[in-house]
Amino acid sequence: MHEATPLWATALAGLAFTLAGAVLAWLASVVRRDVSLVDRFWAPLIVGAGWVYWALLPAPSERGLAMLLLASLWALRLAAFITWRNWGHGEDRRYQAIRARNQPGFAFKSLYLVFALQAVLAWWVSAPLLAGMVAGKPLHGLDAPGLLLAAFGLVFEAVADLQLARFKATATHHGRVMDQGLWRYSRHPNYFGEFCVWWGLWLTALAGGGAAAWSIVAPLLMTVLLLRVSGVRLLEQDIAARRPAYRDYVARTNAFFPGPVRSHAD
């Protein structure tokens, strides 16, 4: 069966998986009236496509397995964290705004406005996993930088999320801006960690051969999402109005890439 599955069919099988998973997530969101459930499915959809590639390819490489295991750790941690963070809080205000803009009939519209879109994006982001599995070269020294960058990003993102969760759990911090730990050097260190994960995985795929260069679409797409779409820009578009102290935080702290704290005179 594996030998009869061409590469294009393997790629489309990954897309079929992400679309099917998105439909299941959509059905759950209709029942619960909570479109923000899509955030919990985002990472598993990406890695699920990777496991589909692994199952269908006749001889996936050791490089592909290493990448897939790293990506699976990323997905499990992120999905578990988002589920824990959002449990019992209802629909996120960002999705409430989307719901309000697309009435009437948002329950059906969300299938293509939110869930199908996320499925296609997740499929594109999974591209380095497929590229790494079919790369011809065996694992060698040039794989180390990419794997180390991805592992660093995974740990960096996890530490940032844990620091923020502990900060929010302290009653005396209510209404204050988190500017401690990694958040002292970047306003979005969790997103920076995710950025490192996907650029690291792409570099690993590239180490297997130049033919993997096409999969750069994945880290580029993830970067755009983190900086310009659902990440930094969306979260910060009204936060200064809701929390005036955030303006001072913006003045002294890099938005994305970690850097030294700036003085007001800088």
Secondary structure of 69-134 in the HEC alphabet? HHHHHHHHHHHHHHHHHHCCCCCCHHHHHHHHHCCCCHHHHHHHHHHHHHHHHHHHHCHHHHHHHH
- Region 29-36: mean pLDDT is 95
**pLDDT per residue as tens digits for the range 123-163:** 999 999 999 999 878 889 999 999 999 999 999 999 999 99
**Domain enclosing residue 200, as ranges:** 7-252
- Answer yes or no: is 1 within a domain: no
Q: Distance between CA atoms of 242 and 226, rounded to whole angstroms?
A: 22
Task: Say yes or no to pLDDT of 2 above 60.
Answer: no
Looking at residue 6, its pLDDT comes to 82
Looking at residue 241, its pLDDT comes to 66
Looking at residue 265, its pLDDT comes to 46
- Answer yes or no: is 56 within a domain: yes
- Answer yes or no: is 95 within a domain: yes
- Answer yes or no: is 120 within a domain: yes
- Answer yes or no: is 259 within a domain: no
pLDDT band at 192 (very low <50, low <70, confident <90, very high): very high
- Answer yes or no: is 258 within a domain: no
- Answer yes or no: is 260 within a domain: no
Mean pLDDT for the chain overall: 92
**pLDDT per residue as tens digits for the range 39-52:** 999 999 999 999 99
- Answer yes or no: is 266 within a domain: no
Query: Per the structure, how many domains does the chain have?
Result: 1
Looking at residue 135, its pLDDT comes to 85
